[in-house]
Amino acid sequence: MSASTTTSSPAGRMPVVFVGHGSPMNAIEDNRWSQAFGRLGASLPRPKAIVAVSAHWYIRGTYVTGNAQPETIHDFGGFPRALFEVQYPARGDAALAKRITELLVPAEPREGVPARRSGLRDDWGLDHGTWSVLVHTHPAADVPVVQVSIDLRSPPAEHVAIGRALRPLRDEGVMILGSGNVTHNLREAFRHLGDPDAPTPAWASRFDADIARAVQQHDTDFLARAGATDDGRMSHPSPDHYLPLLYAAGAADDGDAVSFPIDGFDAGSLSMRAIRWG
């Protein structure tokens, strides 16, 4: 684990966090990553609520969970029964969900960007991209959690723009959490599951380093186009696990301190980097 810091943030503003969540098994295993999630949680100020953008709510439209008691969604298969028995009983926040839908209304339509389909949804809850992290960072489940979906139709810059629209929440006691992975090529990772000595491919090392550098420089333009590079395409055959980073980077600003409370690779190529702004 390593940390790197630049600049500082206004007092009282909640941080933005991006976490590489990795395998759902991190929720129930005592391992390097679950221990690091716990240390990350202990280092964070207590928020009034958490707004989570998870790689696993990747649909047409930008929606917000409006449930009073969001369901713990077990959106996977082939894992031990103990993982399916995990419940994360955090309550929702109807007022915050409504506030988010208001923030997400764009000032004006933009050319090349599909009109935002948005609103409240009660047919989703907290998927494992959210709860597999929060069971360690906020194990008491005593902070309200609201999820925002990722619109699969939107170009990268639009995801940054949505993150920017959420930025005012930070001054209202709300922490914004993006959950995905900086590199996420499952075909490559599955070849090395369970191998702690698996080599990291050059493309994964380069992409992870490029993203870390851009984050430190607050270079959201690079972050928005990085997925289209050769290393970006190798790192993300599908963009779902990369896009939560764009929401987090959009919610940050140039005055935020940047640190990396977690880094390293699982299964050789899966970056587990966590980023904190503020």
Each as own residue / partner, the long-range contacts of residues 193-196 (CB below 8 Å, 24 or more positions apart, any chain) are 193/267, 194/267, 195/267, 195/268
Contact 247, 218 (CB under 8 A): no
Q: Mean pLDDT across the chain, nearest whole number?
A: 93
In this structure, are residues 242 and 179 in contact, taking their beta carbons and an 8 Å threshold? no
Distance CA 252, CA 176 (A): 9
Euclidean distance between the first and the last CA atom of the chain, given in angstroms as a whole number: 18
Q: Cα angle at 238 between 117 and 178, to 5 degrees?
A: 65
Determine the pLDDT at residue 196. 76
Task: Provide the whole-model pTM.
Answer: 0.93
DSSP bridge partners of 270: 266
Question: Among 23, 19, 32, 139, which residue's Cα sits nearest to residue 79?
Answer: 23
How does pLDDT run along the chain (278 residues), one tens digit per residue? 444 434 444 558 999 999 999 999 999 999 999 999 999 999 999 999 999 999 999 999 999 999 999 999 999 999 999 999 999 999 999 999 999 999 998 655 566 666 666 789 999 999 999 999 999 999 999 999 999 999 999 999 999 999 999 999 999 999 999 999 999 999 998 888 777 788 999 999 999 999 999 999 999 999 999 999 999 999 999 999 999 999 999 999 999 999 999 999 999 999 999 999 99
Q: Where are the domains of the chain?
A: 16-277
Q: Rounded to whole angstroms, how far apart are CA atoms 129 and 230? A: 26
Tens digits of per-residue pLDDT, 216-266?
A: 999 999 999 999 999 999 999 999 999 999 999 999 999 999 999 999 999
Dihedral through CA 99, CA 150, CA 82, CA 145, nearest 10? -10
* Token code pair at residue 124: 């989703």
SS3 176: strand
At the topology level, CATH places domain 16-277 in Protocatechuate 4,5-dioxygenase; Chain B (3.40.830)
